Structure 1
Amino acid sequence: MQELLAARSITRIGQSIRLLRTRRGLTQEELAKEAGVSRTWLNQVENGSKSNAELASIFAVLNVLDASLLIRDDVDSQ
């Protein structure tokens, strides 16, 4: 099932990662290990307290979750 999760801030990205992680039955420790990040880093991202999260690490986590980051142009074209 494809579902779009609006993520306009690091807090929303973190919430989306947590939602996907729990849907897939993974612990933070399991996801962090598979993605090559620390559990502490993942916890901070999921809680929105990691304001300078590295994009490459976000992509590594999304890759493990079989998810992607979509960028949409919200400006109306006329």
Structure 2
Amino acid sequence: METADLIKQAYVAKRVDLSILGDWIDAQLHLKLISSKEAIAQRTYVDAEHLSQRAAKPIAAEPRGFGAGTSAKKSSAKKKKKS
């Protein structure tokens, strides 16, 4: 418990393997820094915040590269021109 601040810094710096114990909320619960009700409340808040951030991001452009941009309309138009 004395090193909780240091542990939090490691989580913030993304230096912790989440497959071992889980995220920072799980670590706080394990160290008994928060109750299970507080953990659920924090997780609900974090999930809602994450979803709102994802919704605010612009939609990515269509990928480029091999096969990109070839839709059914384009390929059928090419076939009609060849005929």
Find the structure with the greater CA-based Rg: 2
Q: Same fold (TM over 0.5)?
A: no
Greater share of residues in helix: 2
> With CA pairs under 8 Å and 6+ residues apart, which has the higher RCO, 1 or 2?
1
What TM-score results when the alignment is normalised by the length of structure 1? Answer: 0.27
